[in-house]
Amino acid sequence: MSLWSRLRGLFGGRDAKRRLKIPILGVEACGKSSLILTLGQFVSLHDMGRISMSSGSLFGELLSHVAAGRPLPASARWEKFELHIHRVPEPGGGHSPVDMTLSSEDIPGKQFRDLMDELRVNPDLSTWKAGPTKQILERFTQLLSSCDGFIFIVDLVRNKRAEIAAGAKEPIWTAFADQIKPIMTGILLASKMNAVMAHKPIFFVFSKPDLHLLEPEEVREHFRRAMAIPLAQLRGELINVGQYNVQCAGWEMDSALDGMGIDILLSDLVHAVNAVPDGAP
Ligand SMILES: Nc1nc2c(ncn2[C@@H]2O[C@H](COP(=O)(O)OP(=O)(O)OP(=O)(O)O)[C@@H](O)[C@H]2O)c(=O)[nH]1
Ligand SMILES: [Mg+2]
């Protein structure tokens, strides 16, 4: 430990957190793997960080699809990954130095939805019998326990791209209707796994803006109404809620990933979890 860090410790300075666990949750095909790949590509491309050695096979697999211009297939396995990040973009321009490792897992969304359905009818975890669903519950319990924040991905498009592009609002309500129960149940499970939820940020990421073509303000309004009840509940628990429009896939290898929202998400994420050292912007 450097003299400076020791002095900061002595005088109560805020040391930047080094290791952060941020589960990325959402139903099947909402865009989790795409966000993970895009985060890895963004930090690597802009010399902001790198993936860990052990994450190579996951990123290699995902990248092989994007490089070939193919959509990502549904994730069949749980795969841990880590991103080492040494600087992040700042909203007003420039960068802040950080020294953090973001750890998380790529999960199959089908298992998330199935477990959330099961939890609704069987909320008392202690009565769960051994079996495949209990195993999935245990994996989620590990993923969610002692984490530093959460990312929930909301897919406003589902299979209704054409209707939304033609201006219909109903498919957006249907998309919320489809995802709101898993989201609220997921938050409940997270609160059971974390003794303290206060001040842990939740990031709601709206994927596929290139497909739904809604303005950020429109998305914000739809979200505010559809999620009024859980949002008020979260704020009451002092949980910071952020909303982001992030294009996670649909990019090709010639893209610098600028203006797709990933920079803002990354910057807010490290600030929200206090990973930026004192004195940095
Ligand atoms: N155009 C576009 N397509 C996207 C975007 N995000 C994801 N997709 C596509 O949506 C589909 C599902 O994305 P995934 O990232 O595989 O979704 P997932 O949440 O990991 O799905 P599971 O692994 O089944 O849980 C894939 O075909 C992606 O290429 C986006 O922002 N824009
Ligand atoms: Mg996936």
The ligand 1 atom nearest the CA atom of 37: 15
Q: 208 CB under 6 A from ligand 1?
A: yes
Provide the percentage of residues in the chain whose pLDDT is more than 90.
57
Q: What's residue 1's pLDDT?
A: 44
Domain 14-272: which CATH class? alpha beta
Residue closest by Cα to atom 32 of ligand 1 = 208
Residue-wise pLDDT for 11-57, tens only, equals: 444 456 689 999 999 999 999 999 999 999 999 999 999 999 999 99
* Domain edges within the chain: 14-272
For ligand 1, whether the C-beta of 103 sits within 6 Å is no
Q: Residue whose CA is closest, atom 16 of ligand 1? A: 72
Inter-CA distances, 218 with 53, 222, 225, Å: 40, 6, 11
Cβ of residue 28 lying under 6 Å from some atom of ligand 1: yes
pLDDT on residue 278: 64
If you take atom 21 of ligand 1, which residue's CA is the nearest one? Answer: 29
